[in-house]
Amino acid sequence: MKFIGSHATSLSDATPVTSSAREERCLRMGQWIGAISGAAMGFLHIYWSATGVSGIHGSLGENLMTGIPSILVGGYVGLRTTEWATKKIMQGNPDTGKAAFRGLVYGALDGAITLTASMAPLLIMGYITETIRFNRIKHPVIPWLIVTACTGGIIYGGTFGSLAGVVYGSGISLYMRF
């Protein structure tokens, strides 16, 4: 390490250590946000079923079999897509307005992908274990459930992801001091 001005820099590049530490914190925070938001659907299903909110009472084992795949798949996909979106938002050191716009776009994509990945296993396992009941089922059922998860992911995940992305992108820009 050597010091240039008031910032410590590594010998391999001239970027301040404080900047790379901030970037690493942003990426780590993005991963946590993505993993938690992706896993939320599975946790909510287990919670709602255990407390009787949904009105459908399967056994705890059936509800765990329904929720755990959603937690695992949604959490992993959320972790990776939010990490990707964070990198895209930070690319080129955008000012706050540009970062907010990037947050809107990449947040919508991130939200749509994450919610779709979380909903598909939840709906499929809910159908198989009968912990989720569907009023109108047309055959074949599994492809219909996948289309439903994709549609819901795009509409709801994209909408909430874009709104969260505006705040997230602006926050990244301010935190990184672009």
Strand, helix or coil for residue 8: strand
Cα separation, 11 vs 52, whole angstroms: 60
Cβ atoms < 10 Å from Cβ of 105: 17
- Quickly tell me which residue has 């705040």 as its tokens: 167
Name the pLDDT band for 156 (thresholds 50, 70, 90): very high
How far is the first Cα of the chain from the last one, in angstroms, to the nearest whole number? Answer: 23
What pLDDT is attached to residue 57? 66
Name the pLDDT band for 137 (thresholds 50, 70, 90): low
Name the DSSP letter for residue 93. -
Average pLDDT value for residue range 140-166: 90
pLDDT tens string 87-123: 999 898 889 999 999 999 999 999 999 999 999 999 9
What pLDDT is attached to residue 69? 94
pLDDT tens string 59-94: 888 888 889 999 999 999 999 999 999 999 989 888
- In the chain, what are the domain boundaries? 18-176
* Residue 120 in tokens: 């598909």
HEC string for 40-79: HHHHHHHHHHHHCCCCCCCCHHHHHHHHHHHHHHHHHHHH
Phi, psi values for residue 7, rounded to 5°:
-110, 140
Helices 141-152 and 96-129, packing angle to 10 deg: 160
- Of 1 and 47, the one with more pLDDT: 47
Which whole-number Å values give the CA distances from 169 to 51, 73, 97, 100, in the listed order?
A: 36, 25, 9, 5
